[in-house]
A and B are shown apart, each in its own frame.
Chain A
Amino acid sequence: MAFGRKGRRGGRGLVKLGKKTDQDHELNYKDTEHLKKFITPQGQIMPRRRSGFSAQTQRKLKREVKRARHVGLLPFVG
């Protein structure tokens, strides 16, 4: 059963990390310090509702995080 946003006061949907400065910052797999802001402590890519990115930027985030994982700069897990 899905719970609407109305019922989740202060829930997961309200925190947004992707500020204007973050949106302007070019995402690149080599810039791991910047990418680390948008992954969870377990290494998962944050959802859009949390990163605050547009759909295009979120896709780019996904791509760059996966590239960074491939070359061992970011973890797959943990």
Chain B
Amino acid sequence: MERIYEGMYLLDNAVVREDWNAAKSIVTGILEKHGATIHSARRWDERRLTYPMNGKNRATFLLTYFNIPAENIPAMRREFDLNESVLRTMELLVDAIPAEETELASKETSEDFKVPTPPDDDHIEFVEEEDDDDYPRARRDDRRRDDDRPARDSEGDGEKKADAEKKADAPAADTETKSDEAVTASKED
């Protein structure tokens, strides 16, 4: 029984912008190199990705249907992984090629077919924060520093300490007075 695979390949829009046929031949070339028989290969869509892949926000999706010897699949996948023009790949085993697929693929081969130019906002630019000395420092100066706060050893703390000392002395004084009273009482007796 012949196994049919559906392959979805995400192509870098920078390569697609240069030449669609060249971008497509990257995928078809690798497939054929590993002994695949391609039934159809067409541009499925160009979309914004829900999460960035290799620093790209957008990608062109290439949908293919092909046969390939099963033992060649790992080597093929490895070659796709090493290729920087292909952002992501997915191969699935399917029962049959959809009926409309060959028709859609044949449209792409016609001369009237033109690939829409992908938008330019596909690349993520990592903007480094400018090291503007004045502004951050000014902001830092605006912050309340520890120096601005009242010193901990100020009068308030001093008073507390004095109160604490008084409290510590007070019971001792009471005991002294009590002992004195006891002595006087014993003398009177």
25 A-B pairs in the complex with CB atoms less than 8 angstroms apart: A30-B44, A67-B90, A67-B92, A69-B50, A70-B88, A70-B90, A71-B8, A71-B10, A71-B61, A71-B88, A71-B90, A72-B10, A72-B49, A72-B50, A72-B51, A72-B53, A72-B59, A72-B88, A73-B47, A73-B50, A74-B50, A75-B50, A75-B51, A76-B50, A76-B51
Query: What are the nearest 9 A-B pairs in CB distance?
Result: A72-B49, A75-B50, A72-B50, A71-B90, A71-B8, A70-B90, A71-B88, A74-B50, A72-B53
What is the bound-complex CA distance between A72 and B44, given in angstroms? 14
- Name the A residues within 8 Å of B59 (CB-CB): 72
Closest to B61 in A: A71
Measured as residues with beta carbon below 8 angstroms from the partner, the interface class of chain A is: 10 to 19
A residues near B (Cβ < 8 Å) are 30, 67, 69-76
Other contacts beyond A70-B88, A71-B10, A72-B10: 12, CB < 8 A: A30-B44, A71-B8, A71-B88, A72-B47, A72-B49, A72-B50, A72-B53, A72-B59, A73-B47, A73-B50, A75-B51, A76-B51
- Name the B residues within 8 Å of A73 (CB-CB): 47, 50
What is the bound-complex CA distance between A76 and B53, given in angstroms? 13
B residues near A (Cβ < 8 Å) are 8, 10, 44, 47, 49-51, 53, 59, 61, 88, 90, 92
How far apart are A41's CB and chain B's nearest CB, in angstroms? 13
Most interface-central of A70, A71, A74 (chain B CB within 10 A): A71
- Name the A residues within 8 Å of B53 (CB-CB): 72
